[in-house]
């Protein structure tokens, strides 16, 4: 999946919805990245929402190749260890990142064409909890080796437009030869994480802990 060079934008500060960022232009020595997401839970009655960062590795067909191509807190490694989730945060407490995923871009299998980056509410439909219960939500990328921030995309505007949504396709990473392009998407998906998974070849059962069953 290729993008024309004239479409590349060099963001100043925060990224905007639909922006394309050529990561190797931002950092020519880039080899490993951290995908990080964060949010603050609004004051709510009852249990606070539990948000999760996850990713899907897709082949040229737009489908996952195997169950391990869905990486999340309950399947923390994919692509032979080139993708690693660092663990679940159930509260969103504190400043900064709440969940992170490490990616070795050079170690990514050659037949992985695109990576979807998703933030979702665990059992959101069952618990009647939407993304609107959080604020200051963002997704960002940084160079794992240097800590240099490559992109940061705030999601509040998209969430405020559809506060009852339970999953947002925040961004994608697309391979173009040896290069990778980050695109901000900000799409609230009807049906939540399960709908995104089914769209790309994985069936998950939220009530049983998101067990992949392709």
Kindly report the CATH number assigned to the domain that includes residue 154.
Answer: 2.60.60.30
> Is 115 within a domain?
yes
| pLDDT (average), residues 90-103 | 76
Task: Give 213's pLDDT tier (boundaries 50, 70, 90).
Answer: very low
| Backbone conformation region of residue 86, classed left if phi is above 0, alpha if psi is from -120 to 50, else beta | alpha
* pLDDT mean over 194-211: 75
Question: Tokens 């060079």 label which residue?
Answer: 5
Query: Which percentage of the chain shows pLDDT scores above 70?
Result: 86
Please check the confidence at residue 11 and state whether its pLDDT lies above 90. Answer: no
Of the candidates 57, 54, 52, the one whose C-alpha atom is nearest the C-alpha of residue 68 is: 57
Between CA 151 and CA 18 the distance in angstroms is 13
**At 205, is the pLDDT very low, low, confident or very high (cuts 50, 70, 90)?**
low
Quick one: pLDDT at residue 214?
A: 38
In sequence order, what are the residues at sequence separation of 6 or more whose Cβ sits closer than 8 angstroms to the Cβ of residue 92? 38, 39, 40, 41, 48, 51, 98, 134
Residue 39 lies in domain: 14-212
Q: Which of 205, 170, 207, 200 is nearest to 188 (CA)?
A: 170
Q: pLDDT category, 207, cuts 50, 70, 90?
A: very low
- Please name which of 150, 159, 186, 154 lies closest in space to residue 171, comparing C-alpha atoms: 186
In three-state secondary structure terms, 134 is strand
Mean pLDDT of 108-119: 97
* Number of domains composing the chain: 1
For the chain, the C-alpha Rg in angstroms (whole number) is: 16
Q: Is residue 8 part of a domain?
A: no
For the chain, first and last CA: distance in Å? 24
Residue 203 in this model has a pLDDT that exceeds 60: yes
Confidence of residue 94 (pLDDT cuts 50, 70, 90): low
- What is the per-residue burial (b if ≥16 Cβ within 10 Å, else e) of 139-176? bbbbbbeeeeebbbbbbeebbeebeebbbbbbbbbbbe
pLDDT of amino acid 206: 52
User: Cα(141)–Cα(166) distance, rounded to whole angstroms?
Assistant: 23
Helix or strand run (H / E) with residue 71: strand 70-71
Residue 14: predicted pLDDT: 80
pLDDT computed for residue 190 by the predictor: 86
pLDDT at 73: 87
pLDDT in the model for residue 12:
47
* Residue 190 resides in a domain: yes
Banded model confidence at residue 46, pLDDT cuts 50, 70, 90 = confident
- β-pairing, 149-154 vs 167-176, is unpaired
């Amino acid at each position: 999946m290729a993008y024309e060079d004239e479409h590349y934008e060099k963001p100043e500060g925060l990224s905007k919805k639909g922006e394309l960022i050529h990561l190797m232009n931002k950092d020519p020595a880039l080899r490993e990245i951290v995908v990080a997401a964060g949010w603050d839970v609004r004051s709510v009655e009852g249990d606070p929402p539990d948000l999760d960062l996850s990713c899907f590795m897709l082949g040229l067909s737009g489908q996952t190749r195997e169950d391990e191509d869905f990486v999340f807190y309950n399947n923390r490694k994919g692509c032979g260890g080139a993708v690693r989730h660092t663990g679940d945060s159930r509260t969103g407490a504190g400043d900064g990142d709440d969940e992170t995923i490490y990616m070795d871009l050079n170690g990514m299998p050659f037949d992985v064409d695109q990576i979807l980056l998703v933030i979702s509410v665990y059992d959101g439909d069952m618990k009647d909890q939407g993304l609107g219960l959080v604020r200051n939500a963002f997704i960002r990328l940084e160079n794992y080796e240097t800590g240099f921030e490559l992109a940061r995309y705030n999601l509040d505007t998209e969430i405020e437009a559809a506060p009852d949504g339970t999953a947002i396709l925040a961004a994608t990473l697309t391979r173009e030869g040896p290069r990778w392009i980050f695109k901000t998407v900000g799409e609230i998906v009807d049906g939540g994480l399960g709908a995104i998974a089914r769209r790309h070849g994985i069936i998950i059962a939220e009530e049983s802990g998101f067990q992949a069953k392709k």
